[in-house]
Structures are given as C-alpha cells and as structure tokens.
Structure 1
C-alpha cells in the first residue's frame, strides 16, 4: 500500500549524512551571523540603505559610534601604536603562556625550537596573534559550529607552529649556547610579566 497517505515513508539515510546536515546548518548559521554583522542585521539587501541611514546621510557620525566602528574587528598587532599595542600584547602573552605553551608545546629541540622570550621576535608576535584571533573566533560554537576547533588546528595552529619552530624560523638563533637564552620545559612556564612587559 505505497499509495496510502497515512503510511510513513521509509527512508534509508546513511548515518553520516546527519552529521553532514548538522555541519551545513552550523555553517549556514555562521554565515547568517556574519552577513547580519555586515548589513546591520536589518534585513536590507546588501548595498541598500535603510531609512535610518537615509535620514542620517548628511549628519556627522557620533564620535563614540566612529570609535566602535573603527575597533569592531581586531587590527593586525604590528600596526598598533602604544598603548593599544601594549594592551594587545599583554592579552596575547596571557593566552600563549596560559593556553598554547602548556597545551601544545613540548620540550624544544633542534627540530622544534621555541624561545621563552618569543615576544621579542616580531615575526612570532605576528603569527601568534593571528593564531590567537582565529582561536577566539573558531572556539565559539555560536559562530562556527562544532567544526571550528578542527579548522583552527588544521588551518591556523599547525601551519603557524611549523613556521615558528622550524630550524629556519624566527627562533633559529635561540639555542642555549648561542643566545644564552635558557629554554624551558612547558611545566615551568615563566611569567611573561617578569620579562619587562609593562
């Protein structure tokens, strides 16, 4: 009785398809959030001004609003001037020393170098800041779904650590004998504040 409208259809769906559908839903949600942040979330088409924007077209933006727009997205750390640079570096140091070093860095070696004064290397600051910004976005399930951490490891952390810890990377001269910089085990992370960061 296949023509009986009361009979439930039998669907043979592979189990993995449900996970794919959930991933697509999460990505769609992330894209909707991103789209709304770009368009102001008022439902207007891209490039279409809202009535409020039309009314304020000739008015000067409020100084507080201009500051909000300017800092809506994190800037590249090396382009910041003090004190904004100092504040961003402090936050980065806390994340690197509190999350990255204990969780991801093994004892340094000739094949996997690390400098405990990494914040004195501008290339390391730039790469680690980029990894940290990606971590902030990709560990938020509301914006990236459940695949964010995997994407962060694959696309951000692993390539950055390969570059930083390579024998030709920014720490290539930071060996015990050459620079007098004692590398440390991850379990004995020195406080970054004791190295002169104010």
Structure 2
C-alpha cells in the first residue's frame, strides 16, 4: 500500500496552446509569419481575388505597413488553411469565400478603410487615434 506522500500529484490543467495569430508574435516569429502571409497574399490572394484598384476600392501596394490589414489578412489566411487544406470538407472553400473572403476584402477595400488615401505607388501612413490614458483603470501612476 502506498502512503499519501508517494501518490503522484494530480496533474494541473493542460497548458494553453501557443497563439497562432500574428498580433501575438514579435521579432523573428513575427517576421516569419509575415513572410508566409506575404507569399500567400502575393501568389494566391491577389492574383485571384485582387480586383482593380479604384478610389471606391483602394489597395496599398505596401499593405504590410498597415497593422489592421496585416491582422485581417492573417486571419483570412488562417481560415484559408483550415477550410481549404487537407481534411477540410467539400463545402470548406465555399464557406471560406462567403464567411471570410468577402467580408475581409470589403473591409480592407472600403474607401474609409485602412488603405484610405493610398494609391498605386503612393503609400499613406495612418495615425492611430489618440488615447488619453494608456491604462485608465490601472494604478494612478499608470494613468499619468
């Protein structure tokens, strides 16, 4: 018979999986994720779904310099890999088009979206909205 001291401890909760979304990445991990996204965007997304650039449907040739575009396109790519890759069901590509591609491209190419003011060959950097306090609910020293 074993004593309580020799019983193995119950395992704790399983570790959380590592995040897969690009906004969690930094340094080399971010650079590699952006490289993979760029290859997909330049060889799959834009040749097939890019459509003509107009004032009512802008696009920036330096899209990777727009954090919102990177975030949306990375989410679109993650959904692409899940819904069109090996093991996806036959309706996966149709669901990807309907649920992911169309809304993301409409958002990115909206005249007031992240590429507003950008024209072919003319990138325009966007300023983030001002924030009065970085942590309004933190200790008083954090809000000054």
Alignment pair present for 1:173 and 2:117: yes
Looking at structure 1, the residues matched to 67 and 9 of structure 2 have their Cα atoms a distance apart, in angstroms, of 42
Is 1:162 the counterpart of 2:106 in the alignment? yes
Identify the residue that residue 5 of structure 2 maps to in structure 1. Answer: none
Q: CA deviation at 1:141?
A: 5.1
TM-score between both structures, scaled by the size of structure 1: 0.53
Aligned counterparts of 1:111 and 1:129: Cα–Cα separation in 2: 23
1:180 Cα deviation after fit: 3.0
Segments of 5+ residues of structure 2 without an aligned counterpart are 1-7, 124-144
Deviation of 1:105 (Å): 0.8
Residues 124 and 170 in structure 1, CA contact (< 8 A), matched pair in contact too: yes
Residue equivalent to 2:70: 125
CA offsets 1:165-184 (integer angstroms, 9 cap, x no match):
010000001025xx834xxx
2-structure distance, mates of 1:58, 1:174: 54
Q: Which residue of 2 aligns with 1:105?
A: 50
Structure 1 unaligned spans of 5+: 1-54, 182-198
Check conservation: 1:141, 1:148, Cα contact below 8 A. Answer: no
State the 1:161 CA deviation.
0.3
- When Rg is computed on C-alpha atoms for both structures, the one with the higher figure is 1
Say if 1:58 and 1:105 are closer, same or farther in 2 by CA, change over 3 A.
Answer: closer
TM-superposed CA distance for 1:106, in Å, is 1.6
**Count of equivalent residues:** 116
Residues 56 and 83 of structure 1, relative CA distance in 2, 3 Å threshold: farther
Q: 2:37 aligns with which of 92, 95, 99?
A: 92
